[in-house]
A and B are shown apart, each in its own frame.
Chain A
Amino acid sequence: MARGLSLYAEGSSPLHRAHPLTKATLTLCAIGLAFILPSWPLVLGVGVALLSLLAAAGVLRRFLFVAAGLLVPITLLLALVQSLANPHNQTVILPLGPLAVHREGLYIGLLAALRIAGLVAATFLFSFTTRPADLAEALMQRGLSPRFGYVIQSALQIIPQSLETADRIRDAQRARGLETEGPLPRRARAFIPLLLPLVLSALVATQERAMALEVRGFGLKVGRLARYRIPDSLGQRMLRWGLALAVVAALAARLLGWL
């Protein structure tokens, strides 16, 4: 069951089965390329590749749902601000009284929006297809300290645990007659008495959890053994190196003015 900050969607696609480090490399390289490549057809190519991967993983619809709410407003805002106010604006394509929409600014705004879309798509591709526990395990198998592994895993569980606590506090306050529903001002007033017990209980819980972890042997200096094998392959290792080289090549070409 997916709880917490994890956006992982169950699946059995090759991307779901791929090593977390392969997916992390793919994500970082796609983001790198989206921001290094200078022209919109190349950035669009990265975007199309990411959309194809999202479709192959069976999570395209889920991404489009998120994108509609997140990327459309960002795109409109960037296009509007850049086309009206970018200092490089010269060619008017639509006069609007004292203002005017310019071709140069519109291009810059849309390119920026395309890059942000690439960043979001790559991040969601990783999140939709990778269990946080697998990522932490893969990193620990590569030498990450179990303490840091714990930090990664527990950070993803903080929100649902806080929501659980907030629910209990809200129920208790409602039982004592506090109005927690209704118009926004009333709900805002109800939020204030929720905050202090929530913060205090979080502090107490942290102390108790630290004790409970000690009692369960956390921090023992023993050679931690892998919980489970995460399959890796020569092909995936080559892909990771290939992606990293592509980013380095793109950066070099950009710096040398070949792109």
Chain B
Amino acid sequence: MTPVITMAAARYRYPETDHDALGPIDLTVLPGEWVGVVGPTNAGKSTLCYVIIGLAPQFFGGRLRGEVSVFGSPTASQPVNERSRRAGLLFQNPFTQLSGARERVDEEVAFGPEAHGLPQAEVEERVAEALRLTGLQDLRARHPLDLSGGQLQRLALAALLAMRPELLLLDEPTSQLDPAGSRALFDVLRGLHAAGTTIVMVEHRLEAVAAMCPRVIALGEGRLLADGAPAEVFNRPEVQASAGIPAFARLAALVGKGPPLPVTFESAVEALRG
């Protein structure tokens, strides 16, 4: 099975800095995986997304060493807008992801497919599909600025989905959302994962990561601290010290359950009952 992402001894350094923001990192992500990325501030989580999509170094400048390939193509040799045919990146701030040029939700979603030169009939089909997947069908005629934060983030996701990416990178997609908005977004992601989309999700809600991502990687100071199942990663002392642990695990630790600490709601309930 050809990996979706391959990183071998990858290091990245932003311009005018004297240390690597990321790396060295070795990482392989296979098709259909859902990988959660956790770590404290400045751990290199966003930089990891930028390196995979190619914005670093193509947009930021700086120096990339080692090997980074997505779908077998080295990121250094493929422009980011070319890569957008197969991979998408959802940023933290939904507001700045708007094209800033469209007056309706459906026109906003159509922006990417149109930039790809798709025929209008296919653009419309993809827009309808993306709006349905994100539950925005009823808002298609609204102005994007009239949407709530949660709706706006779903619109940003719909805009990416309209390009039918096989790889979806999410950089703290719920950081500006309320619990209801986050739940709605996670529901969409569950559906995409079930349909086979590969997802790499940077997320600070550790409970959500533990519950949804079968694989978690923890970063610290740009390096890979741990890589494995949530129960394994969140029980590593170095991860607990830097990224923290899900609230359920903290609760279990307080009442003397573990190690190993339960990291999901269900396992915590079981441990507390036992």
Contact = CB atoms under 8 A, between A and B. Distances in A.
Interface of A: 1-4, 6, 131-133, 146, 150, 153-154, 157-158, 160-161, 164-165, 204-205, 208-220, 222-228
A62 B84 CA distance: 45
A3 B117 contact: no
B240 interface: no
Contact of B143 (A1, A132, A165, A223): A1
Interface in B37-64: 53, 55, 59
Contact of B97 (A1, A6, A133, A209): A209
Given A160-B145, A225-B114, A217 B163 contact: yes
Contact of B101 (A2, A154, A214, A228): A154
Contact of B59 (A6, A146, A210, A222): A210
B228 to A, nearest CB: 29
Contacts, number: 119
B145 A216 contact: no
Contacts of B59: 210-211, 214
A131 B104 CA distance: 12
A54 to B, nearest CB: 23
Given A209-B96, A227-B120, A133 B80 contact: no
Contact of B115 (A131, A157, A158, A220): A220
B117 A224 contact: yes
7 contacts: A6-B103, A146-B115, A209-B98, A209-B99, A215-B53, A216-B112, A216-B159
Given A133-B102, A225-B117, A216 B84 contact: yes
Contacts of B243: none
A150 B103 contact: no
B116 A3 contact: no
B101 A153 contact: yes
A25 to B, nearest CB: 24
Given A217-B112, A224-B114, A227-B120, A150 B101 contact: yes
